[in-house]
Structure 1
Amino acid sequence: MKGEVKFPGKYLIARGDRISSLLERAGNLTEDAYLKGGVFTRLSSRERQRKRIDAILEGLEQEVLRVGSKPEDLTKTGEEATLLSLKTKSILIEKLKKIKPSGRVIIHLKPLPEFAQSKYDLVLEDGDELYIPARPSTISVVGQVCNPSDIVYQEALRVSDYLDMTGGTTRDADEDFITVVKADGTVVRTTGLFSNVYSMRLDPGDSIVVPEKLVRYSGYEILKDSVSMAYQVAVSLAALAFVF
């Protein structure tokens, strides 16, 4: 138990103990606690995340090896696009290898009486950690913007306003995949029929991530699965960067 509780530290748990009971033993929250930014991590979740990343890596590596070893797979019309897709996947493989799973489990903390009645009041496991920060005062804007910065939070501002304050997006920005990583770990993105991230109002501690667009070459767009994978890597890296 770390952060804005009255008695932070390590606690022994009994079978059936929940997050709410741990908060009670820690003396409950301090007046500076920022519940929206609470981070709950679990060793078993970290291991599952690692296995998922390893499975994605294995699939990508096998595909790169398969296509790279069979020139007949490269059609005349799609040869350049296929080669570029392989190059992109090789880059993604290297990025995935650098990701260190956090084991974060997204929970929505509330004042103790209300939280104890919610589905997020999980039964504790050995090795669980809960960190409750003090209220932050900034919004982070990272990625393909002219001046990546932490900007002082203002309640009336929207995502578009914070982007403007960094000088706007660069020519390499993929505006179709702009993502907001909320302080509680949830992710909101621009893709989707009714999504409009630009008009969103944010909370202190939120982050705006502007990924780099994938290269287009000779009229061919990199294969759809590569686009999807690039987005997942970008979001994973962003989320991990702002866990602590």
Structure 2
Amino acid sequence: MIIFRLATLAFGVAASASLHAAPPVTVEVSGSVRNPGTLTLASGALLSDAALASAPDERSYMLGAALLRHGELIAQTRLKTGLLFDLEMIESREATDPLGAAAATRIAREFSAMPVTGRVRQILAPRSLEMDLKSNRPLADGDRLYYPTRPGTVSVIGAIEQPCSIEHRPLQQPLEYAQQCPALASASKDDLFVIQPDGEVEKLGIALWNRSAESTLAPGAIVFVPLNAHVLRDVNPAFNEEAARFLATQVLDAPGAPK
């Protein structure tokens, strides 16, 4: 009788565990992979599981691979909304600062067209993930992994006459890229921001008094020409840093890029 009761109790525990088992996670993979589309993986699956299952092909540009998370969308939407609000405030001062207002209009046009992606900085090379326990974090339901092809250009945007796409040259410095795109009068003469294709952001001094050490860019990098401090007065002194942070959430434009 005791044995029967113990067996019944064990069966009940097992059944309860089965009923309350964590559901599988569903992720979407796109870009230069052999197995694009929706993947359903067991609860507790890691990023490496999705990366290996998607099988990035020989054209995949790992430095630009992107993890897009639904949970990041709200914060990034607020970031974009705040940037557009700041630019609107600068535009409203057209009567007292027409050059700053014109620059704000240009930048607002660019940023308005950029999507909120949910991108978080993350290595996604399958074998690298397997060896890096800290980076190989659990998947979240709804995650999207995107593996672009390797671009051949560097983009320059911000306080310039018009956005530029310049052929990538391995040893060319960020300032040399920026100098190929005419800057507006309201552009900062002291700093540039560099956003590498993996989402790394770096602020570089470009004036004689704050000149940074030499820095190289990877294909697909963005050079952001910031607004000067005078334009940002009484609006948001951290605007340029926040703008660079938003740019780091964008993904490389290649066939299969998520929209």
Q: Same fold by TM (over 0.5)?
A: yes
Structure 2 counterpart of 1:17, one-letter code: A
Contiguous gaps of at least 5 residues in structure 1: 65-82
Question: Counterpart of 1:190?
Answer: 204
Q: How does 1:90-109 map to 2 (within 5 A)?
A: 101-109=116-124
Identity %: 23
Match of 1:239 among 241, 244, 248: 248
Question: Counterpart of 1:41?
Answer: 68
Q: Deviations over 1:61-116 (max 9, x none)?
A: xxx9xxxxxxxxxxxxxxxxxx99xxx9xx89xx6x95853211101233x32321
Q: Which has the larger radius of gyration?
A: 2
In structure 1, what is the Cα distance between the partners aligned to 2:69 and 2:204?
A: 29
Q: How does 1:48-197 map to 2 (within 5 A)?
A: 48-50=75-77, 101-110=116-125, 112-118=126-132, 119-146=134-161, 148-164=163-179, 166-190=180-204
Structure 2 counterpart of 1:238, one-letter code: L
Structure 2 counterpart of 1:226, one-letter code: N
Structure 1 stretch 200-209 or stretch 136-145: which is displaced more?
Answer: 136-145
Question: Counterpart of 2:40?
Answer: 12
- Confirm or deny: 8 A CA contact 2:164 2:181 kept in the other structure: no
Question: Counterpart of 1:227?
Answer: 237
RMSD: 3.7
In structure 2, what is the Cα distance between the partners aligned to 1:168 and 1:197?
A: 21
TM-score by length of 1: 0.69
User: Residues 33, 100 of structure 1: CA spacing in aligned structure 2 closer, same or farther, 3 A cutoff?
Assistant: closer
Q: Deviations over 1:112-132 (max 9, x none)?
A: 323212122221111000001
Residue 22, structure 1, aligned to residue 50, structure 2: yes
- Confirm or deny: 8 A CA contact 1:42 1:129 kept in the other structure: yes
User: Residues 182, 51 of structure 1: CA spacing in aligned structure 2 closer, same or farther, 3 A cutoff?
Assistant: same
Q: Count the aligned residue pairs.
A: 206
User: Residues 197, 102 of structure 1: CA spacing in aligned structure 2 closer, same or farther, 3 A cutoff?
Assistant: farther
Give SS of 1:215's match.
helix
- Confirm or deny: 8 A CA contact 1:188 1:197 kept in the other structure: no
Alpha-carbon shift at residue 169 of structure 1 (Å):
3.1
